[in-house]
Structure 1
Amino acid sequence: MDWFFKFICSKQMVPQSLRDACAYPDSLFALPQDDLLRMVYQEFTNDLDRLKRAYSIRSCQQTSFTTQSPSYILYQADYDEVNRTLVGFLALRWIHLGEYENFVGSQPPNVRLNREPFEWIREFYSKVIVDADALYTLITSIVINDLGKDPQLASDYQNITGVDIADLNHDAILLKAFTVGLVQSLEKLPVHYKDDLVRGIELGATFNFGQLAQAENVPACLSGLLSMKDTPRSFNFRFMEQLLDISGAAGHMDCTCAKKLIQPIFDSYRNVYDACQSVIAGTSNLREGYDLILSRRAQFLHEKGFPLLHVNDLHHRALVRLLCMGNVTTRDKADMFKDTWDSLETSVRDKLEYALNLDGVSGRPAVQATYMPAFLSQIGDKESLTCAWRYLARLMTLEESIDLSVLVIERSMLSVMKQYVETGKFDKDPTVLESIDVPEGVVALTTAID
């Protein structure tokens, strides 16, 4: 603990915890990385231990770290979600210190985040972090964000309430767990900052910034933004945390930088920020806010030579959603998506066009295909994409009668990703999807959100 003694002496203070050290952020973030991570672990031991059990999505490629990962430093073993979370925290350190080169690190040169957006993030961070409690609150938000991925959290909730919530998305599980006192770290926060995070968690249970960036969710999911009108600080905390979440998203593969927050992804999140602000301000309705994401992707690809698609045309709009879901940023891949779309069987294309244009209203609920973007973004050939879209058409079709209060049904691709993508079975034979049943649906949003 020599570093801690030097830290104390250098500031003539006696901080007993990370929370105390947040009053001196320059000194805090100047600590050696290993010591800084251990300080976080001391503060959030139970939360990080939960993340050891959390599920994650991997490609079939094996990860080989060239340096010790954050979880290895703490546990002498690699845990994906611990690494993702702590790389998100390290991204906060790089932002605070203005370490642009460390932040972009090994990002591919052709899509590397430019310095101007990095400075935009730093300016936004400075607006959010106005005092020591705000910094501690943001760090808390980073650490607890993915606790719902720990299956034990849903089990603990069921033990207390008798209610099984295991099929809910991880944000909704986190919210439920908080209501019965299972997220103890929130209780350490000042009341006003705790309220900010809870409002953000409530928003996250039905609305995810990344899902909007990828057009994975539907317009009805933006309804939670309406509650943010009078609480801008709550929204800012949530948005900042989400930028850090995407910064650490590849932390289980590369823990040396903010690998995933490349320029195209940042542009997507800026578009999300603008869309959210327009809905919160009341200058756009839910559909208009959502379509801002689609129209900007269409314009982005048009500037690369791809034909301009118009979101007021339902045929075009469906294709733009697929381009967003596939994270398509190049002309070649956009052409492949369009060729595949044009060559789909009419019955499949019609089903997709109808489903992809549903907003989520009473009597006509929409299906949210969770983790479908993670699936589509890994596909690089027309045959595989055709099989994926045939499966998506089945997944997004609702045959059963639905209660009129239901607006959004969520069907998760997680099990398909784990059983067929991570194992390489899909790559070997894309038609394997034809024999797979679609996952069960879970009600994600109703007219009366509880």
Structure 2
Amino acid sequence: MSLRSHIAIAAGKSAQWILKTFFKGGSSYPGKLALKIDPNVLDHYSDLYEVVVVTGTNGKTLTTALTVNILKQQYEEVLTNPTGANMVQGIVSTFLGAKPKKNQKNFAVLEIDEASLSKVTEYIKPELFVFTNIFRDQMDRYGEIYTTYRLIVEGAAKAPEALILANGDSPIFNSLDTVNPRKYYGFDHLPDQEQLAHYNTDGVLCPKCHHILHYQMITYANLGKYYCPNCGFHRPELDYKLTAVTHMDNTSADFVIDGENYGIEVGGMYNVYNALAAASVAEYYQVAPEKIRAGLAYDEKVFGRQEIINIDGKQCTLVLVKNPVGLNQVIDMIGLSPYPFSLVALLNANYADGIDVSWIWDGNHEAFAEMNLPAVIAGGERHEDMALRLKVAGIPSDKLTEIKELDDVIAAIPQLPTEHVYILATYTAVLQLRKKLAEKGYIKGGMDRG
């Protein structure tokens, strides 16, 4: 390691200690400082860690957390970035706080934003990329889905020997040739049945000839066993298969992957995909099934992923929503609830949320009207837009309340008529809400994602 790297690491670690000790923060600045002193500071850490990168539209955070939980069953040092600092300086800060073990394999499992991947792989070369899915999301930041996919393919190409482990049920991940080798995971749990995706679904045109794709099985959105009847484009052979879903409700799921029974303590088909991705990583690294089972069963909710928060006797489930496909999967999960519940929908439109809120009109809010909810609160900075969408969906005016300020939303929750409450919130609304809940003593912390 060069003298410059030594100085950069020392300066970064000092800044990190000061910020964490006295200011309870510092997820990005220490890395920024270290990079300014030595732009190649990550080269030192690349030699110490086997780096796994998780990217895609939905599922990055939980897939990362589950992968870390599994690998920790076998390896002592598994580094990750739970605070959501997934730009280059944040990744450097993550490594600055690490204590790698000598003479053993050290893992770093990093969640990386799609638009940031190409920048991160300028500095560090992963051994494995996990691609979860690509859906239309924050078009002001990412553009259309094929633009997003090109971004992550270009990022992966900077580490050409790294394997891409991709969701084989997503047609887009089979649409371009890559310099990286590829393996695929996916669902093979139902008998073939000829069908088409829902008419309001993106990514259902064949990327080779632009004919409408057909399916022999659909899990949700455009994911499934697809094929093109015009040119023969079809789902690749799966290297890791989920062959059965034996149980699913709003809080858990059980399933079979490559002949082994597993379970997770969160509900919804979309979370089973996250578990499948994590288990596939583990199989790739030859982790034993009993350790995969223990890692998946680890019941610690992460930032906005079905966190349970008690607010003066109300059992509130906080769920992050950010695009139509994710929202619809959350709505399906909520619909499995065996008990009555109220709904709080918080909508912001800051840069991290995506400033365009038109996506809420593609979400199936009409399903909430069919659930006959006793009370609904529309809140957040764009509460008027949220309230209008819910009214158009069929929520009766006498059951719908608009509340802009989050302090007032928190005060209103104990007055709701049901014990259970679902809180659906966009990214910055989750951050703001958790901060206020922490200030009021309902949770510890507030801004961290882990």
Same topology, TM > 0.5:
no
Normalised TM-score (structure 1): 0.27
* Bigger proportion of residues as helix: 1
Normalised TM-score (structure 2): 0.27
* Bigger proportion of residues as strand: 2
